[in-house]
């Protein structure tokens, strides 16, 4: 059996490997934050759609329910999205 010996990487090879890892982490981190922003915009759009429906409703009782529901959906969805993103960032050590 031929001897197998691994050589240590040169400083240049190690620096290139670390730079590639850093780029991969930056891309992953950027996509996590882009996803969070897009989800916040979706929650905002859903909340605004409910509020717009409440403004155009002719039934006062239904309008109030839909209006407050829209506020709850928009604000609650955004807060949950940001909380989940923060928790993931803390677990991954990004913050």
Residue 92 resides in a domain: yes
Structural domain that includes position 67: 43-95
Residue recorded with tokens 């829209």: 70
Q: Per the domain annotation, does 52 fall within a domain?
A: yes
Can you give the pLDDT at residue 3? 60
Decide if 31 is inside a domain.
Answer: no
Q: Is residue 58 part of a domain?
A: yes
CB 48 within 8 A of CB 74: yes
Residue 95 lies in a domain: yes
CA distance linking residue 74 with residue 50, whole number of Å: 9
Give the pair of three-digit tokens for residue 10: 């040169």
Q: Tens digits of per-residue pLDDT, 26-82?
A: 998 999 999 999 999 999 999 999 999 999 999 999 999 999 999 999 999 999 999
Q: Where does the pLDDT of residue 93 fall: very low under 50, low under 70, confident under 90, or very high at 90 and above?
A: confident
Q: What is the pLDDT of residue 2?
A: 60
Could you tell me if residue 38 is inside a domain? no
- Name the band, by pLDDT with cuts 50, 70 and 90, for residue 13: confident
Number of domains the chain contains:
1
Residue 78 maps to a domain = yes
């Amino acid at each position: 059996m031929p001897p197998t010996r691994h050589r240590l990487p040169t400083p240049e090879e190690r620096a290139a490997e670390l730079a590639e890892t850093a780029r991969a982490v930056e891309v992953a981190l950027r996509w996590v934050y882009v996803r969070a922003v897009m989800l916040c915009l979706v929650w905002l759009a859903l909340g605004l759609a409910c509020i717009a429906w409440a403004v155009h409703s002719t039934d006062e009782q239904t309008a109030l329910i839909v209006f407050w529901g829209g506020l709850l959906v928009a604000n609650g969805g955004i807060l949950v999205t940001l909380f989940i993103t923060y928790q993931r960032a803390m677990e991954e050590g990004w913050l």
